[in-house]
Amino acid sequence: MATLVIVESPAKAKKIAGYLGQGYVVCASLGHVRDLPGSKGEIPERYRQEPWAALGVNPATFTPIYVVPPAKRQTVRELQQLARTADAVLFASDMDREGEAISYHLSRLLGVDQPVRMVFTEITKDALQRALQTTRPLDLRLVAAQEARRVIDRLVGYRVSPLLWNSVGSKLSAGRVQSAALMLLAARDMARMTFRPATFWVIRAAAQTRPAFTATVTHVRSKDHPAGRPIAKASDYTQAGVLKEGAQVLVMTGEQASALSAYLDGKDATVTRVDLTETRSRPAPPLITSTLQQAGSRLNLSARRVMDVAQTLYEGGYITYMRTDSPALSDEALSEARREAARLFGPGAVPSQPRQYATRNKNAQEAHEAIRPAGTTWRAPDTVGLTGDTLAVYTLIYQRTVASQMHDAVFDKTVVTLTCGAATLSAQGRVLKDAGYLRLLQDDAGDPDDQNLPALTPGQQVPLRARPPEGKTTSPPTRYTEATLVQAMEKAGIGRPSTYAQTVSTLQTRGYARLAGRHLAVTAVGLLVATYLARQVPPVMHRDFTATMETGLDDVAAGHTTRVDYLTRFWTEGLAPIIGRASHEAPSLPLPHLEGTRLRAAASGPHLVRGGQAAPLPPEVIPADLSEAEAVAIMQGGWTPPKQRRPRGAAHPDTSQAARPRKSMKAAPHKPRGAPKRKTKP
């Protein structure tokens, strides 16, 4: 006889069993053991005649149909057998809403009337012993919040997706989180199509000093403007390529820029002002789920891949639970981070008082700590015996946590103003005065205009050597990377930390977005889906829609409202009537960068429409990147895919980081100081 402890994964079960020892049997449920029916065949016979049976939820009462999926039936039978012979059962799934729901469904299937929860945020012997001594009852409010989320996701997905099948194309899907994220991507691509470049000029001169430095013309004086007018720069223009309203700037022509550059060449400039200031760079907070996914891009890891690696590290007892939106650290962790910093760099490496961080996300669920190394004594990256991606992610977490408790980095910043005739020039430099946390984590890129300036005094004459004027154009809005999309989702309140990586992956799996280099470009199907939903079911596409829903779910979890009351407001009185009024008209939208050209949905796929004629749009074509010549070739049936030339040894552009195994991590563009060297094969 023994106590049965049930966790989600076999890896976690094996690790925990080694710590608990005799008297405990630790088994894995392999995630969820009950869910809404995934197919018609899974619907129980007694419900099949109900008009709502295919939804798996009665939309009038929000009563869900729960079934054990075929793939989980053997697991459930084995757990039921173990529960019948156990002295006690402890439900030790993760401590978030999802984990609480897993424990609830297990307790129902195993016939445990008074389920007991064992919760922990790290898999260490001390943490597990504390969890055994501080068990608690099942929190039915968390279960209700998770069930409300699952019901909404099912109703939205199953009621909105058929609209897409009838209006855009088959095998498409809509979802509460994925649709709002798609709108972010689509809005950025539409902005790129409406973008019109503007030209501006940058005039620089090299100051012939030791060391030499480069100064940039910022203002030009004239009879009309004796105090000088600033030269137009990129930020002075709108996305339409015109000056912003109220911009009082000098727009130079190429001839004027060349004339000014020629005037400066060989002249002496006078130093009119030298401003010295001290600037500080504060260490970033410890990692949370969203910032871990963003930081993973420095290691060339997708959001999905970095979360898979973090899951492995958590289950192996290396880090604390990786789904959190709180950057706070426990007193114990604060002390250990400070001890590690002092061990590495001496006692002067940390301030007199610990640094504590709070979230800026108003929707955050601060149930537990930031992601940090597990245990009361942390292991340095070069002692843990990890390799490849797991070592890289552990190093990132370790260094970010320790650095968060170190001193600010302090710089001396110098800004020099010079005059030469009618021109005012400026240069700036920055010198590191106290490295602080940068001794461990080199993540301060500084200003690209920073340079090493000589000691200068007002009134000093500085000879100039002009550089050729640089004609520049404003840049279109930058597409999101996976990391910046996660950041935008977090800022907008779209989804929760546990949904970010899956959402980004789903958008690509569904064919709504595709990686173009490191950026996410929206496909023709993605644009048509976004267009249809924005016109017919606009709340689904609004970023505030899911954020409002998350706030409501927080109220359910806190007991401020009931699951049914919340679902009634959100679904019955809110979204359901809008979906019911939606038209099945095929969406069509103009492509602003191609005159007289539209993108239209058709039964056989997206079509390009010009001059009353339509032609299928090849799936390889990204609408926002389509040129006039390519559009003509498509209409004439002569378009051919451009050949993709790749550098020798480069991965295929369609190969997902998350999908392919990696024997060793590629050299990252940024390597934190102190990161362990990676072994390479001879």
Catalytically annotated residues: 321
Q: E-assigned strands of 83-228?
A: 88-91, 116-117, 136-137, 199-202, 204-207, 213-220
**H or E, element range at 563:** helix 563-567
DSSP label of 319: B
CA 603/CA 621 separation, integer angstroms: 18
Backbone dihedral angles phi then psi of residue 286, each to the nearest 5 degrees: -55, 160
Q: Under a CB-based contact definition with an 8 Å cutoff, are residues 420 and 268 in contact?
A: yes
User: Which of 392, 401, 393, 405 is CA-nearest to residue 372?
Assistant: 401
d(CA 607, CA 207): 57
- For residue 348, what are its two tokens? 């002067």
- Whether the CB-CB separation of 105 and 29 falls below 8 Å is answered with no
**Contacts for 554 with CB less than 8 Å, ≥ 6 apart:** 145, 363, 365
Ramachandran assignment for 138, one of left (phi > 0), alpha (psi -120 to 50 degrees), beta (any other): beta
CA 498 to chain centre: 11
CA 361 from centroid of its chain's CA atoms = 14
> In Å, what is the CA distance from 510 to each residue of 128, 175, 204, 526?
40, 11, 48, 9
Joined tokens for residue 667: 């050299």
CA distance 586 to 169: 9
Taken in order 652, 654, 658, 660, is the CA torsion positive or negative?
Answer: negative
In this structure, are strands 3-7 and 24-28 parallel, antiparallel, or unpaired?
Answer: parallel
Structure tokens at 629: 């010549």
Q: CB count, 10 Å around CB of 170?
A: 8
Query: What is the rounded CA–CA span in Å between residue 471 and residue 480?
Result: 27
Six-digit token string for 372: 């940090």
How far, in Å, are 287, 423, 501 from residue 483 at the CA level? 14, 42, 10
With beta carbons less than 8 A apart as the criterion, state whether 219 and 541 touch. Answer: no
**At 579, which amino acid appears?**
I
**Nearest-angstrom CA–CA distance, 661 and 664:** 9
**Alpha helices, H only, 346-481:** 388-403
Q: How far apart are CA 418 and CA 426, in angstroms?
A: 6
Q: Which helix (H) or strand (E) holds 269?
A: strand 268-281
Distance separating alpha carbons of residues 507 and 522, to the nearest angstrom: 9
Burial class (CB in 10 A: 0-12, 13-18, 19+), 613: exposed
Q: How far is 675 from 344, CA to CA, in rounded Å?
A: 13
Paired residues of 528 in beta bridges: none
* CB neighbourhood size of 24 (10 A): 18
Helix axes 140-167, 524-536, angle to 10 degrees: 110
Counts of helices then strands in the chain (DSSP H, E): 19, 22
Q: Give the tokens for residue 160.
A: 């909105």
Q: Please list, residue by residue across 117-142, b when 16 or more beta carbons sit within 10 angstroms of its beta carbon and e when fewer do.
A: bbbbbbbbeebbeebbeeeeebbebb
